[in-house]
Amino acid sequence: MLPTRLCIMRKLPSLLARTLTSGTSASPGLLDMSEGHSPIHVKNVRSKLRDIVGASTNWRDHVQAMQERKALHTLLAKRQEDLPPRRMKDSYLEVILPLGSQPEIREKYLNVHNSVRFGRILEDLDSLGVLICYTHTKQETQQRSPLSIVTALVDKINLCQKIIHPDCDIKFTGSVSWVGKTSMEVRMHMLQLHDGDYSPVLDATFVMVARDPENKRPAFVNPLVPESPEEEEIFKQGELNKLKRIEFSTASLLKMAPTAEERNIVHDIFLNTLDPRTVSFRSRKLPPNSVWIEDAKLKGLEICHPEERNIFNRIFGGFLMRKAYELGWATACSYGGSRPFIVSVDDIMFQKPVEVGSLLLLSGQVCYTEKKYIQIRVHSEVYNANTREHHTTNVFHFTFISENEVPQVVPKTYGESMLYLDGKRHFAAVMKEI
Ligand SMILES: CCCCCCCCCC(=O)SCCNC(=O)CCNC(=O)[C@H](O)C(C)(C)COP(=O)(O)OP(=O)(O)OC[C@H]1O[C@@H](n2cnc3c(N)ncnc32)[C@H](O)[C@@H]1OP(=O)(O)O
């Protein structure tokens, strides 16, 4: 187990998670959510998604399948008010990943340390998040959904278990927790079975956006009506999360200068790296137990084959997250020199879809460290070999804890200092929730 301090279960999700682990301590409003829902096997989540949108199973048929989806345009609502409101429990789903009771599925999830690959969990959360949104927007009269629902943001994933066991059943639960005009916030929880009881492993908050059948323009989604004071609190938190995201992005170091306190930090680092033997701005010296930030990175390349496509024939967001996470883990591992454990994932923004056939360049960077913690940023971009253009598709932020204290990472240039400050901000936001 992580130290208690690290157990980042926020009040409401943990209430929901607790509710689902035992029938006795539950609050009635939340308990209702699991009633009448039979769990879905994890392997059926993707097939359900394919059925909902009418996705092709053969790559060669994908153009025709997309053509057929165009006809669904007429089913889109002209105004959000035309869509019937939904309750949180309408989109509530439970998914079982039976690692304990069906050992034959373990291999795909296993890492070399005999625990569960977190990258695989990211893929399952992404598919489940989308299925929850399709459940929220389901119209009984429609055989196929006209909506293309895509992952826009992984707001946060906070873990409260260091190890995920490869031989115990896992349960995912979740529902839509907030709705805008065309976007939906989804809260999910993961629990693992130990001695007959499910105990919480992680909480995740994703934002999904609904688009038209061709994934070109935004499309309205059903409003959400909270039914109890607890649900009102969850809904309000969703609203606050949106405001916080706007605030964080407005103050981004890509748009605004650092604060006075941050400028002092950067200048102190600069002074600390001046060579005392020379009176020069240029002559820089690495302080003891430190690593230059430029020497703390790892790069990778993925060719995006059709196998990794999603139901809209773009690259599956979960696959992108798995690849970025694994590079982030390797970067933390080679930096710290011991096995890192994931503590938190935050603010993964899916800025642009990745087309099948793309060359995806991934760059993992240690951008901030503190004691045993390593803050990693993975930048992914698509390279077009014909035009020689690069486009950023995602930026991922991961917080790891290492077994031992790690060296300090030191920026040299102004750009690297901004990377350092951005990492420090993300780290502070994660620690605030602990
Ligand atoms: C078959 C096996 C696989 C099955 C798996 C199925 C799962 C499929 C899920 C995926 O794999 S999706 C693939 C990964 N995701 C992407 O490729 C998305 C890439 N990004 C985009 O396409 C656009 O950036 C995006 C559609 C997300 C937003 O486009 P815009 O920036 O033009 O959005 P717009 O300004 O029109 O705003 C539309 C809504 O999105 C919201 N929004 C946009 N970006 C956001 C963001 N970053 N965070 C939160 N909300 C965001 C925005 O607030 C607004 O909400 P409201 O209408 O409710 O006010």
Please state the atom number of ligand 1 nearest to the C-alpha of residue 181: 58
Q: How high is the pLDDT of residue 251?
A: 85
Q: How high is the pLDDT of residue 33?
A: 64
Backbone conformation region of residue 289, classed left if phi is above 0, alpha if psi is from -120 to 50, else beta: left
3-state secondary structure of 432: helix
- Measure 38 CA to ligand 1 centroid, in angstroms: 29
**46-72 mean pLDDT:** 85
**Atom 53, ligand 1: residue with shortest CA distance:** 183
Backbone conformation region of residue 264, classed left if phi is above 0, alpha if psi is from -120 to 50, else beta: alpha
**Atom 2, ligand 1: residue with shortest CA distance:** 310
**pLDDT (tens digit per residue) in 278-318:** 777 778 899 999 999 999 999 999 999 999 998 888 999 99
Q: How high is the pLDDT of residue 278?
A: 79
- Measure 150 CA to ligand 1 centroid, in angstroms: 5
Phi and psi torsions of 76, nearest 5°:
-70, 145
Question: Half-sphere exposure of 112 toward its Cβ, with a 13 Å CA cutoff?
Answer: 2
Q: How high is the pLDDT of residue 243?
A: 94
- Measure 351 CA to ligand 1 centroid, in angstroms: 8
**Atom 16, ligand 1: residue with shortest CA distance:** 353
Q: How high is the pLDDT of residue 402?
A: 96
**Atom 14, ligand 1: residue with shortest CA distance:** 317
Please state the atom number of ligand 1 nearest to the C-alpha of residue 217: 36
- Measure 210 CA to ligand 1 centroid, in angstroms: 7
**Atom 15, ligand 1: residue with shortest CA distance:** 151
Pairing of strands 93-97, 40-41: parallel
Considering the chain, what percentage of its residues have pLDDT values greater than 70?
91
Q: How high is the pLDDT of residue 69?
A: 86
> In the predicted model, is pLDDT for residue 6 greater than 70?
no
> In the predicted model, is pLDDT for residue 259 greater than 80?
yes
- Measure 151 CA to ligand 1 centroid, in angstroms: 5
Please report, as a single letter, which amino acid is at residue 305.
H
CA 231, CA 179: separation in Å to the nearest integer?
13
Sign, Cα dihedral of 122, 128, 131, 136:
negative
> In the predicted model, is pLDDT for residue 25 greater than 50?
no
**Atom 27, ligand 1: residue with shortest CA distance:** 152
> In the predicted model, is pLDDT for residue 148 greater than 90?
yes
Please state the atom number of ligand 1 nearest to the C-alpha of residue 55: 1
Pairing of strands 373-384, 359-370: antiparallel
**72-84 mean pLDDT:** 95
Q: Among 44-58, 164-178, 244-258, name the most confident range.
A: 164-178
Question: Please, what is the average pLDDT of the chain?
Answer: 89
Please provide the distance, in angstroms rounded to a whole number, between the alpha carbons at the two ends of the chain.
14
**pLDDT (tens digit per residue) in 400-425:** 999 999 999 999 999 999 999 999 99
Candidate of 137, 150, 205, 209 to mutate for ligand 1, largest count of ligand atoms within 8 Å of Cβ: 209
**375-384 mean pLDDT:** 95
Which pTM value belongs to this model? 0.90
**Atom 52, ligand 1: residue with shortest CA distance:** 183
- Measure 131 CA to ligand 1 centroid, in angstroms: 15
3-state secondary structure of 221: coil
**150-163 mean pLDDT:** 94
Higher per-residue pLDDT: 213 or 26? 213
Ligand 1 pocket, Cβ-based, cut-off 6 angstroms: 46, 49-50, 126-127, 130, 150-153, 180-183, 207, 209, 211, 218, 310-311, 314, 316-317, 349-353
> In the predicted model, is pLDDT for residue 11 greater than 80?
no
Q: How high is the pLDDT of residue 35?
A: 61
> In the predicted model, is pLDDT for residue 78 greater than 90?
yes
Q: How high is the pLDDT of residue 1?
A: 35
Residues 6 or more apart whose CB falls under 8 angstroms from that of 408 comprise 287, 289, 290, 291, 369
> In the predicted model, is pLDDT for residue 359 greater than 60?
yes
